[in-house]
Amino acid sequence: MKLPLIGCRFCKVIKFFGESASIAEVRTINNQPILFIGGSPLTDNQLTELKMEVDLLKQTGLWKIITSTVTQHAIELGIKQAKDFDQTMFAKSMLHVVGIMEGVFKAIEEEKERRKKQ
C-alpha cells in the first residue's frame, strides 16, 4: 500500500506531473513504514548520510532564518494584510512548504530510529 507524499495534501497534483527523483515518501511494506526517495528505499549508508545532513542543517542559523522568515511573512500576509481569499490561501501555501520541509526531516529521523530498533 502506497501512502501519500510526506506532509503533502496535494499529492494528486504532484502525481499528475510525474514522480521526481527527489520526492520523499513513506510506503508501508509488511506493516512497516519505509522511507523511499525517488521511488527507491534508502540504503543504510544513504540514511546515515541524510540524517547527518538533517542534524547539521537544523542547527544552522540559515535554516532558522529561512523558516522563521517564511513563517513570519505568511502570518503577516495571511492574517494582517490579506484583502481576499487568494492572499490567505497563498499565505497558507507558504506555511505548507515549511511543513513539507520539516516533514521530510522528520521522516528521515523516524526512519533512522526505526532501523536502530531492528
Reported pTM: 0.74
The pLDDT tens digits of the residues spanning 35-79 come to: 888 788 888 988 999 999 999 999 999 999 999 999 999 999 888
Sign of CA dihedral 66, 71, 77, 80: negative
- Specify the amino acid at residue 112: K
Nine cell digits for residue 104: 521530510
DSSP of 53-71 = HHHHHHHSHHHHHHHHHHH
Closest CA to 107 of 52, 58, 19, 36: 36
The pLDDT tens digits of the residues spanning 66-78 come to: 999 999 999 998 8
Q: How far apart are CA 21 and CA 100, in angstroms?
A: 16
Give the CB-side neighbour count of residue 89, counting CA atoms within 13 A: 3
Q: What pLDDT was estimated at residue 20?
A: 52
